[in-house]
Amino acid sequence: MKLFDSIKKDFSTITWVLMVVAIAINVVMGEIVVLLKLPIYLDSIGTVLVAITCGPWAGALTGALSNTIWGLLIDPNALPWWPVAMFIGFVAGWCAIGGLFKSWWKVVIAGFLIALTAATVSTPIAVYIYGGITASGSSFITAYLLQTGQGVLQAVFSTNFLVEPVDKISTSLLAFAIVQGLSGRFLARFPRPENVEVDKTAGRTQVLIAIGIVIVLVLIAAFVLTNILTK
């Protein structure tokens, strides 16, 4: 019963309306980054916005529907990936409930967790439906890793693990920035406004900590990468 109540809490009328706008934002953002030729997708930005203001279940549904609509109407290659989008929303929602969307450096951590989830969930899909090589540019990396003799699952996961964090951390930071720009009165309309009550610590300190965490993550990634390459 408690689970059912938790799910119900996410969904009020404004949740459904936000979902519509969020999915449209996903689509248009995806197009803008193509226009600006940036190496990120940002096509989960709407999903994350729903997840942090309404909850993990609403976020999950937004991701699933977003991917489905995208796949049916824009690019059918996106269709098999709906579980990834769903889990992105789900994990973002729980990160928000856990208070990770309250200051800049915590948001970086949330972005990293979301990236990890995306990498994990997309690996079996890539392997079992596509045999590891998908139609995206990151498959070049997978191909290289496969050449070095790695197992398919490992190669695909490594690729995803390298590619996802940049996009998902950027997405989370952007979502956080957007929510910061909304008034408290407006946010109060949504089911979980408490997720985005910002910590009162000095803004400057937070940004420095955030940069610090990013540096740490980059170092970890470099360490992991060299390990993979020299294996």
Q: Which stretch binds other proteins (CB under 8 A): 26-34, 112-120, 160-168, 211-219?
A: 26-34
Cβ at position 223, least distance to other proteins in Å: 26
Q: Does 140 bind other proteins (CB under 8 A)?
A: yes
| Residue 1 makes contact with other proteins by CB under 8 A | no
Q: Which residue number, 31 or 199, has a Cβ lying nearer to other proteins?
A: 31
From 117, 139, 160, 172, residue interacting with other proteins (rule: CB under 8 A):
139
Cα distances from 64 to residues 55, 59, 87, 198, 200, in angstroms, run 14, 9, 9, 28, 34
Query: CA–CA separation, 197 vs 102, rounded Å?
Result: 6
Nearer to other proteins, 140 or 223 (CB): 140
Among 98, 116, 120, 130, binds other proteins (CB under 8 A): 130
The C-alpha atoms of residue 222 and residue 226 are separated, in whole angstroms, by 6
Distances (CA, A) of 76 to 7, 15, 109, 181: 30, 27, 32, 34
Q: How many residues make up the chain in this entry?
A: 231
The rounded radius of gyration (Å) of the Cα atoms in the chain is: 18
Binding site for other proteins (CB under 8 A): 11, 13-14, 16-21, 23-25, 27-29, 31-33, 35-38, 65, 69, 71-73, 75-77, 79, 129-135, 139-140, 142-143, 146-147, 174, 178, 181-182, 184-186, 188-189
